[in-house]
């Protein structure tokens, strides 16, 4: 599984280095950071995430989500990247990475593990900072996968 994730990330990085001779996405270059909440998505129910644009086409992302209470806490930490397809404020993207999953319960309901994700989506980023993303993810572990939607609303700064 980790070999596939590394290959996917390398391909995304190479695609981001391809130069396009059109105008750059003004809001992605002027407002390279964003923070928001994703409902459903990579962390199954919700996650708060931060993304930093490394180039006008490549963004790196980290997030955190949790379920349960003090006695039985399950935490999700998605780490990954996005490659934007066109240099416009509204752009399709390809995303991929891993989610670190930990369980604090003594009952071992969920073992601490990782799973991968890959997906396609669309982002619209307004020059004023409002951000909207819709994605379809493939969440996968060794031999198993399922398709899961995600809706992200955030603010770029």
pLDDT per residue as tens digits for the range 81-101 = 999 999 889 999 999 999 999
pLDDT for res 65: 96
**pLDDT given for residue 106 in this prediction:** 62
CA distance linking residue 141 with residue 111, whole number of Å? 13
Residues 6+ apart with CB under 8 A from 84: 25, 28, 56, 57, 58, 59, 91, 92, 93, 123
pLDDT value, residue 57: 94
One-letter-per-residue 3-state SS of the chain: CHHHHHHHHHHHHHHHCCCCCCCCCHHHHHCCEEEEEEEEHHHCCEEEEEEEECCCCEEEEEEEEEEECCCCEEEEEEEEEEEECCCCCEEEEEEEEEEEEEECCCCCCCCCEEEEEEEEEEEEECCCCEEEEEEEEEEEECCEEEEEEEEEEEEEC
pTM of the complete model beyond 0.85: no
By the 8 A CB rule, do 64 and 50 touch?
A: no
Q: Residue 23 has what pLDDT?
A: 45
Class of domain 2-17+32-156: mainly beta
Give residue 3's pLDDT: 62
Question: What pLDDT score does 21 carry?
Answer: 37
pLDDT of residue 112: 77
Q: Report the chain (157 residues): mean pLDDT per 10 consecutive residues.
A: 58 50 64 96 96 96 91 91 94 97 70 91 93 97 92 97
């Amino acid at each position: 599984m980790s070999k596939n994730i590394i290959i996917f990330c390398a391909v995304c990085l190479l695609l981001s280095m391809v130069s396009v001779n059109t105008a750059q996405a003004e809001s992605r270059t002027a407002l390279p950071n964003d923070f928001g909440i994703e409902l459903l998505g990579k962390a199954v129910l919700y996650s708060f995430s931060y993304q930093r644009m490394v180039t006008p086409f490549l963004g790196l992302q980290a997030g955190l989500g949790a379920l349960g209470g003090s006695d039985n806490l399950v935490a999700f930490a998605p780490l990954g990247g996005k490659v934007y397809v066109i240099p416009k404020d509204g752009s399709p993207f390809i995303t991929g990475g891993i989610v670190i999953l930990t369980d604090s319960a003594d009952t071992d309901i969920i073992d601490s593990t990782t799973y991968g994700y890959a997906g396609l989506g669309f982002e619209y980023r307004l020059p004023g900072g409002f951000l909207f993303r819709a994605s379809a993810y493939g969440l996968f572990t060794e031999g198993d996968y399922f398709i899961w939607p995600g809706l992200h609303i955030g603010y770029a700064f």
